[in-house]
Amino acid sequence: MRATIWLCIAASLGLAGAALAADPAPRYNVVELQAEAQREVANDTLTASLYVELNDANPAALANAINKAANDALRVAKDYRNVRARSGSNQTYPVYAKGNVLQGWRGRAEIRIESKEFEAASALIGKLQAGMQLGNLSFSVSPEARRLAENELIAEAIAAFKVRAEIVRGALGGRSYKIQRLNVSSGHSAPPPRLAMARTLAAGAPEVAAPDLEGGVSQVTVSAAGAVEVLE
């Protein structure tokens, strides 16, 4: 009987100890902070789309024409080894006149190119614009370049966080501080390309001058956010 009572008491003490361990001591003077580190990184990747859009009364003839134009463009792009080209959207839809009467068909096919060699991409775009329209042109930082910049900015963001933590400690009159938690995140933004970069030249011209391309820069940011406890 005594053994049973002792086991019950021990179990009760164990549960009480676990409850106390699970209930952390209250913390005071906890302050939320955030700091950032930024850097301009040169855009090293160009992405563009070119398209052909045609009309025809015969949907089969239309599909054949736009497919041929897209296929010819992809064959031309193969001569530019430093430029990646792939098929984009391809669609055909009816065109109606007044009274919901079928007037004909319109088709559109596009190709998309990507390259780090701006000069080669510019030459290809100029060549393709003899028969296609330039629909979109944008510049960005490649994943590997962005990752390298972010890795270097992590230390700067954390150092900036510690500087702010020290300012808070001094303002509250504490002797030191302890970081309770810290989250690091990253992001980037790029301004839209200038209108001169994204100009659309008339398709069907015998010769089209290659556009002058300037990639510009993107802003890479790393943020350090968390909470510190100021110790008295």
* pLDDT of 15 strictly over 80: no
DSSP string, 74-93: HHHHTT-TTEEEEEEEEEEE
Confidence of residue 4 (pLDDT cuts 50, 70, 90): very low
Confidence of residue 1 (pLDDT cuts 50, 70, 90): very low
HSE at residue 196, side-chain half, CA atoms within 13 A, is 5
What is the mean predicted confidence (pLDDT) over 8-20? 45
pLDDT, tens digit, 9 for 90 and up, residues 180-202: 999 999 987 766 654 344 444 44
Confidence of residue 29 (pLDDT cuts 50, 70, 90): confident
Burial of 124 (0-12, 13-18, 19+ CB in 10 A): buried
Confidence of residue 149 (pLDDT cuts 50, 70, 90): very high
| Mean pLDDT of all residues belonging to the chain | 84
**Cα 106 from chain centroid (whole Å):** 33
Q: Could you give phi then psi for residue 29, rounded to 5 degrees? A: 55, 45
Amino acid identity, position 200: T
pLDDT at 199: 42
* pLDDT of 16 strictly over 90: no
Q: Where are the beta strands (DSSP E) in 118-164?
A: 133-140
* pLDDT of 93 strictly over 60: yes
* pLDDT of 57 strictly over 50: yes
* pLDDT of 106 strictly over 80: yes
Domain map (residue ranges) of the chain: 26-44+141-232, 46-139
Check if CATH label 3.30.110.170 holds for domain 26-44+141-232.
yes
Confidence of residue 23 (pLDDT cuts 50, 70, 90): low
Residues 6+ apart with CB under 8 A from 119: none
Length of the chain: 232
Confidence of residue 11 (pLDDT cuts 50, 70, 90): very low
Stronger pLDDT, 83 or 100, i.e. the higher one: 83
pLDDT at 211: 72
Confidence of residue 173 (pLDDT cuts 50, 70, 90): very high
Confidence of residue 83 (pLDDT cuts 50, 70, 90): very high
What percent of the chain lies above the pLDDT cut of 90? 70
* pLDDT of 8 strictly over 60: no
Closest CA relative to residue 95, chosen from 56, 67, 132:
56
- CATH of region 46-139, choose from 2.40.50.1020, 3.40.50.1390, 1.10.760.10, 3.30.70.360: 3.30.70.360
pLDDT at 121: 94
